[in-house]
Amino acid sequence: MNDDNSKGRKPARSEKDKANLFEEIIQKGAELFASEQSFSTRKLASKLNMTQGNLYNYVNSKRELWIAIRKHDFELLKGEFLKIIHSHEGKYFDLFEKLVIFFLDYSSENPNSWKMMFLIDPPKSRKKGPIETQYEPIQLFEVILNLFNEGIKRGEFRKISPLIIYSLVVGAVLTETDIKISERNKINELISDLSLEGNDIKKFRNTLIETLRYLLNP
């Protein structure tokens, strides 16, 4: 006997399809957070050509979306850091330089991801959803801290607060953004033409690495 109720029913998504859709939710959600933080989940669902009810099968609030995006991006960043660390042979500062350059490249190529990780505050919510309930911090900073401590132990790094280095590297991303704006538009209220004269991203990065080397050299 035929089941008439099943004639118009869509086949269930495979796990691969679900993972691909969740990746699309992450990417589109980051775009909306970066451009208009007051967007609604209804608008996100519309951009994804899905119903709001279907979207709630993946993230049930903007706060859950914010957490899911950051978890996704920090896991990706941490994974790439660990690859660089495990494949490195040689001095610790050379390894540190590789990580800094990778971080700057990643931030430049993935501006929405960087904003989500470092600039955009979480939306408020009256209750915790399943993503937040099960969330465990990625501990990216601990990877860097362990690297610093090992470098200090081996006598290759001076004992200095990692927060100082953190502030220089994260601040460098913002500075590179301003340099690009000035190069594109020739107008920038934050960086004067005089300070940019003879400077570009490559020269700025070289100076940053020299400064970090000076600070870390024992």
Residue 197 has pLDDT above 60, yes or no: no
Token pair of 5 as six digits:
């109720």
Tell me if 157 is assigned to some domain. yes
Tell me if 131 is assigned to some domain. yes
Is there a contact between 93 and 213 (Cβ–Cβ < 8 Å)? yes
Q: What pLDDT, on the 0 to 100 scale, is given for residue 140? A: 87
Q: Which of 97-111, 117-131, 198-212 has the highest mean pLDDT?
A: 97-111
Give the chain's mean pLDDT. 87
Q: What distances in angstroms separate CA 100 from CA 20, 45, 106, 173, one per listed residue?
A: 30, 36, 10, 10
| Domain that residue 191 falls in | 71-216
Q: What distances in angstroms separate CA 18 from CA 36, 42, 43, 51, 87, one per listed residue?
A: 26, 19, 20, 15, 32
Report d(CA 19, CA 188) in Å as an integer.
41
Q: What pLDDT, on the 0 to 100 scale, is given for residue 56? A: 92
pTM over 0.85: no
Tell me if 93 is assigned to some domain. yes
Structural domain tally of the chain?
A: 1
Element (H, E) at 150: helix 140-153
Report d(CA 63, CA 121) in Å as an integer.
10
Instruction: Read off the pLDDT band of 90 (50, 70, 90).
Output: very high
Tell me if 151 is assigned to some domain. yes
In 3D space, the residue among 96, 24, 100 whose CA is nearest the CA of residue 65 turns out to be: 24
